[in-house]
Amino acid sequence: MHAARKYDGSKGTRFVIFAAPYIRRAMEEAISEQTALYKVPQKEATPSERKRSHPISMDQPVPVGSSNNFTLQSVIENNNSPRADESLNRQILNSELRQGMNVLNERERKVINLLYGLDGEHYTMAEAGEMTGLKRERVRQVRDKAIRKLKKRLR
């Protein structure tokens, strides 16, 4: 818009040629504004604050400029990776459940195994019903009864 206001067609230059530097400058300003983590007002900007407002690489050594192998990526938690104690907790819980499964009859044991994946894969109630020859609602009832028995046994 700034270029359109300043353009004078009587001088013989094409508008595209005249406007190109204005457009380029506006694009560069927009890019620089969007790359900062947060906008620092110019009146309050100190050199250190301006430096902090720009993003840094995940592979950059910490502290910045050092030659060690400690990077930001090694500090940030990976939510997709299992926690160190998660597998141990799961093993303990599975062993306690298997001991408590002695109070269940064969059908209840099979339903619990299928629904909670004690033998590997988890199945839905509909899938477990197909495998056991029961309807989904009956699978739910069997599961609820088995859980009540397990709670009573494990207390």
Q: What is the pLDDT of residues 27-63, one digit of tens each?
A: 777 666 665 555 656 666 666 666 666 666 666 666 6
35 in the same domain as 68: yes
Q: What is the 3-state secondary structure (H, E, C) of 75-141?
A: HCCCCCCCCCCHHHHHHHHHHHHHHHHHHCCHHHHHHHHHHHCCCCCCCCHHHHHHHHCCCHHHHHH
| Domain of residue 119, residue span | 86-154
Question: pLDDT tens digit string along 117-149?
Answer: 877 888 999 999 999 999 999 999 999 999 998
Kindly state the tokens that stand for 26: 């506006």
Q: Say yes or no: 95 and 71 in one domain.
A: no
Residue with tokens 């303990």: 92
pTM, rounded to two decimals: 0.44
